[in-house]
């Protein structure tokens, strides 16, 4: 297992993650398309809620953890989400954990959203999580934060270090160190596109999607300038 897969296999569901499960339960068809599913952190919660899940991932270490879930309602698809082919419609298309920020450029973001829109049921919704653009732009060289697990378990401390803003490329890069309650520290490299609300609305519009609602770090709170993350709900334009 790579360091990144080990980290995501260990990270708990967070307070804010209940949002995806509630949306998926209310969506038509009982079927979710999850893009960038990682080791299946959210996938397991969706399966636990009785949903059928198509989980798309491209990283080999993440894929082997996903396949190990071996669940009758889970279909694991090895693919670049930007190249996702035809398939059954989903009532909810989920882009969790800053997938859009991780993509290399605006063209890839357009392709992923176009693929997501093609697979979204006409009465369905698309939910996405992105890193707060103003948080990314103002990230100090070093800072700390804390993740609160949904089950009230021990929190995970996160230290951001060596943060740098590539002002022309509009990307923030940093090392994220996650410190778990037993003292284990696992690291991930942040390389995140700064996605402004204007760009996001533009790419959603180009994919035939319209924004239904926008939230801050923990829905239903409203988006604020200091939020680490935002959550956005969109739907196919009638």
Ligand X SMILES: C[S@@+](CC[C@H](N)C(=O)[O-])C[C@H]1O[C@@H](n2cnc3c(N)ncnc32)[C@H](O)[C@@H]1O
Nearer to ligand X among residue 53 and residue 209 (C-beta): 53
In which residue are the tokens 């990144």 written?
4
Beta-carbon neighbour count of residue 14 at 10 Å? 21
Nearer to ligand X among residue 3 and residue 210 (C-beta): 3
Q: How far is the CB of 92 from ligand X (least distance, A)?
A: 14
Contact set for ligand X, span 91-110 (CB under 6 A): 96-99, 102-103
The yes or no reply on residue 58 touching ligand X (CB under 6 A) is yes
Cβ(57)–Cβ(66) below 8 Å:
yes
d(CA 142, CA 144): 7
Binding residue for ligand X, selected from 24, 45, 47, 56, defined by CB under 6 A: 56
d(CA 26, CA 20): 10
The 3-state secondary structure of 186-201, one letter per residue = EEEEEEEECCCHHHHH
Nearer to ligand X among residue 21 and residue 98 (C-beta): 98
| DSSP track, 49-108 | TT-EEEEEE--HHHHHHHHTT--TTEEEEES-GGG------EEEEEE-TTHHHHSSSHHH
The yes or no reply on residue 227 touching ligand X (CB under 6 A) is no
Q: How far is the CB of 99 from ligand X (least distance, A)?
A: 5
Nearest to 202 by CA among 78, 114, 75, 142: 114
d(CA 120, CA 126): 7
Binding residue for ligand X, selected from 23, 31, 47, 57, defined by CB under 6 A: 57
Q: How far is the CB of 238 from ligand X (least distance, A)?
A: 29
Nearer to ligand X among residue 62 and residue 117 (C-beta): 62
Stretch that binds ligand X, among 75-83, 148-156, 158-166, 170-178 (CB under 6 A): 75-83
The yes or no reply on residue 61 touching ligand X (CB under 6 A) is no
Nearer to ligand X among residue 14 and residue 167 (C-beta): 14
Nearer to ligand X among residue 36 and residue 223 (C-beta): 36
Residue 49 structure tokens: 């809620």
Contact set for ligand X, span 36-55 (CB under 6 A): 36-38, 41-42
Reduced to 3 states (helix: H, G, I; strand: E, B; else coil), residue 133 is helix
Residues at the site binding ligand X, with contacts judged by CB under 6 A: 8, 36-38, 41-42, 56-59, 62, 80-82, 96-99, 102-103
């Amino acid at each position: 297992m790579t360091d990144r897969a080990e980290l995501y296999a260990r990270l708990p569901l967070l307070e804010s993650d209940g949002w995806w499960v509630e949306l998926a339960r209310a969506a038509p068809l009982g079927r979710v398309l999850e893009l960038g599913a990682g080791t299946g952190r959210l996938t397991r919660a969706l399966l636990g809620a009785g949903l059928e899940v198509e989980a798309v991932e491209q990283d080999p270490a993440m894929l082997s953890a996903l396949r190990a879930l071996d669940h009758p309602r889970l279909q694991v698809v090895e693919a670049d989400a930007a190249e996702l082919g035809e398939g059954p419609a989903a009532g909810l298309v989920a882009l969790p954990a800053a997938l859009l920020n991780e993509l290399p450029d605006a063209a890839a973001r357009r392709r992923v959203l176009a693929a997501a829109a093609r697979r979204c049921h006409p009465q369905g919704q698309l939910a996405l999580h992105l890193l707060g653009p103003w948080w990314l732009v103002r990230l100090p060289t070093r800072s700390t934060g804390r993740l609160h697990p949904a089950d009230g378990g021990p929190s995970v401390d996160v230290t951001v270090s060596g943060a740098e803003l590539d002002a022309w490329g509009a990307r923030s890069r940093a090392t994220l160190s996650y410190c778990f309650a037993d003292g284990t520290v696992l690291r991930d490299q942040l390389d995140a596109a700064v996605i402004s609300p204007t760009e996001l609305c533009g790419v959603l519009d180009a994919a035939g999607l319209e924004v239904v609602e926008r939230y801050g770090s923990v829905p239903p709170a409203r988006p604020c300038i200091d939020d680490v993350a935002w959550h956005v709900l969109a739907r196919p334009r009638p």
